């Protein structure tokens, strides 16, 4: 069994799918690992570390894509998916992030090449799969980095300081959407000394907000069916979002930093902060919109850009996890390593047990067809 690790080519990606440490642990099984030269350099993992871990360095990318039985990537989407599709042969397995709830038609077309595609975003939210959950790993990094970026742009410090030149008031930070990223943002802002408030539609988030020392903001409106059985947020009605915006305007006007994280898998992100709400905020305030890539939680967000409106800076970072590529790759690689250990038997042979919930949920295509029930429904 040969596992291939090509260099990422999509969207100036800095992360790498497996680190040398992952490879040396995987090689306890009788497998071979082919690594494209330079694959880990942008993430801080030089070629020599891969060689020391037991991998074979390959300079011919096309040969690696042809020879590997399993191809491990961060991005199996856009041009990189097209390339994989052009090179893969019947039965070859591709594992990576594929944006499956949005790209289901492209994946249905790609299935015809005979590749077996495994989408890491579809790892079920069950205890046994927690160590394979790349969305949680990347969200942890995103929540942390959002606060760091806000601190860099804010014209004020986060902690209260009593100095000979007077007392500096602490920064007020507000986190909207308290899933994995939001909770990490609350904890990071708190550690930096901010006074932190947070809001989520899920009632269960209240306890979690309190657990990291932040204050839950209560709005006098109740959301319905806030999460799916799988633990993901559900889309709220237009009427709810409008009432939420009205109730939120006053809270926002008092903040120095706002971090928004509300995402709905496969859907456009809800607008939580309108242009009028930005105009009521204090000049010098900073909004970091972690939902920028799926439309943005702020009406003025431009993905990948910095927008300044009425003195308020709105950041819409793209691939924010990639700005901490070493740790992001360590977490991603370990999630992937844990999944590979489930898919490979002791002889290093691939065993796809479709009775296993993790396999059933994550395998998108197999044997020339889209096999994932959820995606088949979407593709009609």
Q: Which two tokens stand for residue 306?
A: 């910095």
- Using the rule CB under 6 A, is 351 a contact of ligand NAD? no
Residues between 215 and 244 with contacts to ligand NAD, criterion CB under 6 A: 226, 231-233, 236, 244
Minimum Å gap between C-beta 183 and ligand NAD is 7
The one catalytic residue in 32, 136, 156, 202 is 136
Minimum Å gap between C-beta 126 and ligand NAD is 6
Nearer to ligand NAD, 170 or 182 (CB): 182
Told to judge if 104 belongs to the known catalytic residues of this protein, a careful annotator would answer no
Nearer to ligand NAD, 229 or 346 (CB): 229
What burial letters (b/e) apply to 105-126, b meaning 16+ CB within 10 Å?
ebbbebbebbbbbbbbbbbbee
Told to judge if 24 belongs to the known catalytic residues of this protein, a careful annotator would answer no
What is residue 340's three-state secondary structure? helix
The one catalytic residue in 32, 78, 125, 206 is 125
The one catalytic residue in 105, 130, 211, 351 is 130
Crossing angle for the helix pair 325-343 and 134-153, nearest 10 degrees? 170
The 3-state secondary structure of 132-161 reads HCHHHHHHHHHHHHHHHHHHHHCCCCCCCE
From residue 256, alpha-carbon distances to 20, 236, 301 in Å are 41, 27, 17
CB 154 within 8 Å of CB 257:
yes
Interface stretch with ligand NAD, choices 49-57, 160-168, 200-208, 310-318 (CB under 6 A): 200-208
Residue of 2, 202, 341, 360 interacting with ligand NAD (CB under 6 A): 202
Nearer to ligand NAD, 125 or 191 (CB): 125
**Would you list the DSSP string of 43-92?**
GT--HHHHHHTTPEEES-HHHHHHH-SEEEEEE-SHHHHHHHHHH--TT-
Minimum Å gap between C-beta 78 and ligand NAD is 21
Residue of 130, 211, 228, 347 interacting with ligand NAD (CB under 6 A): 130
Told to judge if 361 belongs to the known catalytic residues of this protein, a careful annotator would answer no
- Using the rule CB under 6 A, is 261 a contact of ligand NAD? yes
From residue 258, alpha-carbon distances to 141, 154, 185, 233, 321 in Å are 17, 11, 10, 20, 19
Q: CA-based Rg of the chain, rounded to a whole angstrom?
A: 22
Residues between 160 and 189 with contacts to ligand NAD, criterion CB under 6 A: 176-182
Residues between 133 and 152 with contacts to ligand NAD, criterion CB under 6 A: 133, 136, 139
Nearer to ligand NAD, 271 or 324 (CB): 271
Minimum Å gap between C-beta 288 and ligand NAD is 14
Q: Which two tokens stand for residue 98?
A: 């594929």
Residue nearest to ligand NAD (CB): 179
What is residue 126's three-state secondary structure? coil
Crossing angle for the helix pair 134-153 and 180-191, nearest 10 degrees? 40
Told to judge if 232 belongs to the known catalytic residues of this protein, a careful annotator would answer yes
Nearer to ligand NAD, 156 or 206 (CB): 206
The one catalytic residue in 133, 200, 256, 289 is 133
Told to judge if 125 belongs to the known catalytic residues of this protein, a careful annotator would answer yes
The secondary structure of residue 236, as a DSSP letter, is P
- Using the rule CB under 6 A, is 320 a contact of ligand NAD? no
Nearer to ligand NAD, 95 or 178 (CB): 178
**Dihedral angle computed from the Cα positions of residues 197, 201, 203 and 204, in that order, rounded to the nearest 10 degrees:** -80
Using CB under 6 A, list all residues that contact ligand NAD: 125, 130, 133, 136, 139, 176-182, 199-202, 205, 226, 231-233, 236, 244, 261-263, 270, 272
Q: Which residues form the catalytic set? A: 125, 130, 133, 136, 232
């Amino acid at each position: 069994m040969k596992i291939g690790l090509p260099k990422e080519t999509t969207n100036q990606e800095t992360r790498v799918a497996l680190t040398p440490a992952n490879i040396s642990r995987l090689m306890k099984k009788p497998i071979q690992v082919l690594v494209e030269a330079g694959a880990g350099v942008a993430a801080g993992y030089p070629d020599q570390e891969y060689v020391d871990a037991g991998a074979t360095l390959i300079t011919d990318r096309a040969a690696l894509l042809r020879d590997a039985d399993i191809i491990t990537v961060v991005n199996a989407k856009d041009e990189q998916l097209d390339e994989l599709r052009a090179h893969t042969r019947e039965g070859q397995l591709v594992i990576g992030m594929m944006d499956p709830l949005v790209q289901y038609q492209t994946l249905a077309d790609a299935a015809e090449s005979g590749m077996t595609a495994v989408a890491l975003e579809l790892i079920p939210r069950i205890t046994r799969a927690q160590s394979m959950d790349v969305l949680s790993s990347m969200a942890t990094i995103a929540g942390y980095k959002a606060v760091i970026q806000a601190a860099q742009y804010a014209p004020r410090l986060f902690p209260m300081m009593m100095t000979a030149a007077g007392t500096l008031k602490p920064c007020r930070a507000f986190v909207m959407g308290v899933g994995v990223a939001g909770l990490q943002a609350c904890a990071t802002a708190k550690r930096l000394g901010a006074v932190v408030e947070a809001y989520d539609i899920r009632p269960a988030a209240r306890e979690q907000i309190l657990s990291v020392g932040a204050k839950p903001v209560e709005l006098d409106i109740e959301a319905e069916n806030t999460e799916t059985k799988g633990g993901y947020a559900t889309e709220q009605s237009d009427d709810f979002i409008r009432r939420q915006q009205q109730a939120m305007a006053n809270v926002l006007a008092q903040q120095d930093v706002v971090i928004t994280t509300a995402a709905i898998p496969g859907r456009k992100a809800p607008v939580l902060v309108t242009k009028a709400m930005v105009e009521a905020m204090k000049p010098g305030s900073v909004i970091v919109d972690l939902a920028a890539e799926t439309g943005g939680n702020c009406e003025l967000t431009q993905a990948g850009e910095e927008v300044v409106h009425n003195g308020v800076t709105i950041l819409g970072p793209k691939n924010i996890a990639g700005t901490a590529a070493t740790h992001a790759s360590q977490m991603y690689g370990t999630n992937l390593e844990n999944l590979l250990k489930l898919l490979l038997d002791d002889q290093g042979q691939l065993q796809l047990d479709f009775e296993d919930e993790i396999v059933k949920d994550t395998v998108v295509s197999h044997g020339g067809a889209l096999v994932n029930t959820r995606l088949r429904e979407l593709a009609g």
